[in-house]
Amino acid sequence: MAAPFPLNHLLRPRLLRMKFPPMIHARPDHASTSTDARMESSVITGLSRIANTFRPKVVITHSHDIDETFHWTAAKATAGRIGVPHISLPARGGDFIWLSKLDSHSLGAWDKVDVQILVQAPPASSGSLTRLLRSLQRADYFGDTLGLTIELPHNVDPPLLEYLKSFHWPPRSVHNHFTLRRRIQHGNITSEEATLRTVDSLYPKNPAYSHVLILSPQTELAPSYYHYLKYAILQHKYSRSAKESLHRLLGISLELPSSTPTIDSEPFTPPTRSGSPVAIQGTDKHIPVFLWQAPNSNAALYFGDKWIEFQSFLSSRLSSARRAGLKMHTNPVSKKFPSWMEYMLELTRCRGYYLLYPSFPAVKSSHAVLSTIHNELYRLPEEHTLISQSPELISENPQNSNSQQHIADPNRSSSSGSSSSLDIPQEVELGSVELPLAESSTISSLLQQFPAGLPDELSPKHVLPYSQKYPTSPDLVERTQAYLKEFREKVGGCGAQVQQQVAVEDLKADDLFCSEVEEGVAL
């Protein structure tokens, strides 16, 4: 007998919005002596009548391994016929209490959400990558199938190749399907090449529902990470309130960083209800989260529509960098992070985008850390292992943290083999604060501590800037407008005289750059 889903959770107004007692009906007579075919037909008939009366948005059952075959088959067939998702839970209903906190719009996207994982491995990273892949296999995906792409360098450690021979993905599946991509180019690669290699690795097939989960080899995930991730995706991407107020939400981070991604790695103190109550979303009964204008390359999901827009941005951004006469734009991102972070920060600031970050790992009594970033076995991104001594590129220097940092001209390759290249030691301190991971495969303990779940609505009024060190307006709209004007003039090729408002197209960033005709006038 399957464990029942607690009735008091099903009756919550957010799920059904009804206050009358439930009625158990549509049961066939002679059920104990009926054939499976008759029982299946009875379930289809009963569910069809319920659908005609109540117009349900979703059908929820146990998985086919737990439920009666006739019931599961009939429920799936009926859900398909009436055009609603069929949510099949492979475990106790109590493990999925968070479903009761989602509205019908969120639940309607349940079987449409497609998460594609992207992992990039620098050279000599077999130990850290193996640790990450094992944590991915331990996680509970409750029947969902996630894509996995692993980017390998040209020189791959033999132990890693041996491990990948027996690596199975998706876990607990009869199928074994993941993508390995190995670079064939010898030597080091430039920042531009590394950025394009990363961003071109995945193209969301459906911008509305296909999303990209970026993981670094230094990351280790908790078994419950996907429970939280899907809950957050459904709540803050597809709920009725999210569609109205969070169009600038770039994605969802699983990491709570201990420092900013800036060149000097300034310490970051996450907001808490006791210290910074304004920045924390929701009430004290809600899971504490906050909005931050800082991209993340360790463990973060980027929504598909924003990822496609980022590809459009890069196409124009890299072209503008090659044009003579345009100033290079200041960029404060540390070389400890991959080069695509530099460009993602630019897009984030131009658009006023932000990520949703968890603040609950900072609560000592939470015991709900979803990801931890290890310091040992850390390797610099491959594009940063050789830094040019050219004046266009100033290497990260703690002694000179106030100097401006610039993006080098992408046409100037640091991997050309010239004698002007300087080896950077691989033993660089990442500076992460490692936290013990939550051991449970569900987020039940997190919901026990914060019974209201994730906030129903997020207010973009209190979005933290990417850095507290660089002076910017506390108002998101003001600092976005100021940065946008500067970016279009210095990088977009628009000039001070071509600053009129341009229409923004979905999935494109063409409005941030001027056409060649406009450039001729401006320059």
pLDDT at 514: 86
The answer to whether 35 and 27 have CB atoms below 8 angstroms apart is no
pTM for the whole structure? 0.86
Could you give all domains of the chain from N- to C-terminal order, each with its CATH number? 7-101 (no CATH), 114-462 (3.90.550.10), 489-522 (no CATH)
* pLDDT tens for the 523 residues of the chain, in order: 445 556 565 555 454 545 555 655 556 777 778 888 888 888 888 888 888 888 888 999 888 888 888 889 999 999 999 999 999 988 777 889 999 999 999 999 999 999 999 999 888 889 999 999 999 999 999 989 999 999 999 889 899 999 999 999 999 887 888 999 998 888 778 889 999 999 999 999 999 999 999 999 999 999 999 999 999 999 999 998 887 668 899 999 999 998 899 887 788 888 877 666 667 777 788 999 999 999 999 999 999 999 999 999 999 998 877 664 454 555 688 999 999 999 999 999 999 999 999 998 877 666 789 999 999 889 889 888 865 333 333 444 444 333 333 333 434 444 433 333 334 445 567 888 888 999 999 999 999 999 999 998 888 888 999 988 766 778 899 999 999 999 998 888 887 666 566 778 889 999 999 864 344 333 3
Q: Considering only CA atoms, which of 312, 326, 295 is closest in space to residue 406?
A: 326
- 270-274: long-range pairs with CB below 8 Å, 24+: 270/357, 270/359, 270/361, 270/362, 271/359, 271/464, 272/359, 272/362, 272/363
Residue with the two structure tokens 């504490």: 288
Exposed / middle / buried, residue 83 (Cβ in 10 Å: 0-12, 13-18, 19+): exposed
d(CA 301, CA 253): 6
pLDDT of residue 283: 78
Peptide bond into 425 cis (omega under 30): no
pLDDT for 292:
95
d(CA 335, CA 422): 14
Tokens 């998702």: give the residue: 85
DSSP β-bridge partners for residue 212: 116, 302
Q: Exposure of 392 by Cβ count < 10 A (0-12 exposed, 13-18 middle, 19+ buried)?
A: exposed
- Cα–Cα distance, 87 to 111 (Å, whole number): 7
